A and B are shown apart, each in its own frame.
Chain A
Amino acid sequence: MPKLGADMDRGKVVAWRKRPGEAVAKGEIIVDVETDKAAVEVESFTEGVLEQVLVPPGEKVPVGTVLATLRTTGDAEIPTRAPEARAPATRVMATPAARKRASELALDLASIHGTGPQGRIQLEDLGQATPAPPPPPPPAEDRAQRMRQAIATAMSRSKREIPHYYLSHTLDLGPAALWLAKANASLPLEERLLLGALLLKATALGLREVPELNGFWEAGAFRPSPRVHLGIAVSLRHGGLIAPALHDADQASLADLNRRMTDLVTRARSGGLRGSELTDPTITVTSLGDRGVEAVFGVIHPPQVALVGLGRVVERPWVVQGRLEPRLTATATLSADHRVSDGHRGGLLLAAMDRLLQTPEAL
């Protein structure tokens, strides 16, 4: 069971996409997992043949539990374990043969009476069992409560362990807004850009200049990330939020970033996020501008070391070459980990974002 976020300690197998004996490509979706926050499609980290499913649909297991075994060509059996294995599996006791057969029949092992030693389920115990109906989706209230608990755990840890400092800077969005209006006027409707894509690209490029804001605090030390994966905070319609990663945002063209951003937000709200999108954001960006908020000072999502907040786009009086004129602006904020960086370096990120947004055509 992969760890799909710092606040996850258990997950439920919802459905297997592959059957034992079927070939699996690296990156192919192999199993659907439900966490307290989302339904997630988990990809295989290697290619091979699915040998044995160890956790049937409907079973909830701790992070690190081996879900299945894959056999690679010319290789020994390897477990499809999560990279961060932690706790041993706590599962219904069953023989491997019974477990395999139960998986093939989509049987819920928990509902079967075992006649083996210490109640262990044996193959013959499955004889009279009928396939279990798919587990009903959890009630919305229950789901919201579990998500609130998951957020509470992660954010409490953050506030307990991370010495936050906070900065804010008013971004001049005049040139970006003008460029965007002109660009969109000539683009097909399906390819129109959102201002959010420009802000994300400026953030990602700015992070290259201040790498100590992009990475992880692990085992008492900072590990910078060579890649920029922006975690995009998405508020969910039934409450709570999730922050899947926009991978390599600094490398993407604006058009590509815009397309992937809208796709990611849509999938976050409708279900269908990939496991890899939840495991590796190197920094989070949260935007509450659409909700009318002028500035947001966020709580860092551990083990990340910084969070960028974007507020409402608002027209303000602005001095340009000694003249006062109305100008579109937004407040960008930075919450950062003082164990890794200080205010001077943090300020450089916000200044870089502002500078980059003055030449939007170069983003």
Chain B
Amino acid sequence: MNREGLRAELLRLLGHLAPEADLSTWRDEWPIREELDLDSVDFYAFILAIHQQLGISVPEADYARLSTLQTTLDYLEPKLVAPQSH
């Protein structure tokens, strides 16, 4: 999966959490939680969905690195090709 494919998949996952949002015009620098009004339960569901769909387990200490779609892509993309170390 390339970066574009990963981006589409993340937007799909976010669409499940915020079905009322129009994600077709999403800008990657927007803060995810604030823009989509995700609370801690929603965000945890996002982390779970990443694990289930992409096989990547995000440690709690790294949650802050998933603040925008851009930082999320930067964080997840290398993990798609590199095996998990934890």
Contacts and interface: CB of A to CB of B under 8 A. Distances in A.
A342 to B, nearest CB: 33
Nearest to B50: A189
A184 B19 CA distance: 29
B82 interface: no
A192 B41 contact: no
Interface stretch (A64-72, A78-86, A258-266): A258-266
A319 interface: no
Contacts of B41: 194, 196, 261-262, 265-266
Contacts of B40: 194-196, 290
Interface string A329-356: 0000000000000000000000000000
Interface in A175-201: 181, 184-185, 189-190, 192, 194-196
Interface in B11-70: 18-20, 33, 37-41, 44-45, 47-48, 51, 57-61
A160 interface: no
Contacts of A237: 18-20, 37
Contacts of B20: 237-238
A190 B60 contact: no
B20 to A, nearest CB: 6
Contacts of B59: 185
A358 B39 CA distance: 25
Interface string A85-129: 000000000000000000000000000000000000000000000
Range, interface on chain A: 10 to 19
Nearest to B47: A189
A55 to B, nearest CB: 31
Contacts of A266: 41, 45
B18 to A, nearest CB: 7
Interface string A231-247: 00001011000000000
Interface in A155-214: 181, 184-185, 189-190, 192, 194-196
Interface string A249-281: 000000000000110011000000000000000
Contacts of B33: 290
Nearest to B21: A237
A288 to B, nearest CB: 9
Interface of B: 18-20, 33, 37-41, 44-45, 47-48, 51, 57-61
14 contacts: A181-B60, A184-B60, A185-B59, A185-B60, A189-B47, A189-B51, A190-B48, A194-B44, A195-B40, A196-B41, A237-B19, A262-B41, A262-B45, A266-B45
Given A237-B18, A266-B41, 7 more contacts: A189-B47, A189-B51, A189-B58, A192-B60, A194-B40, A194-B44, A265-B39
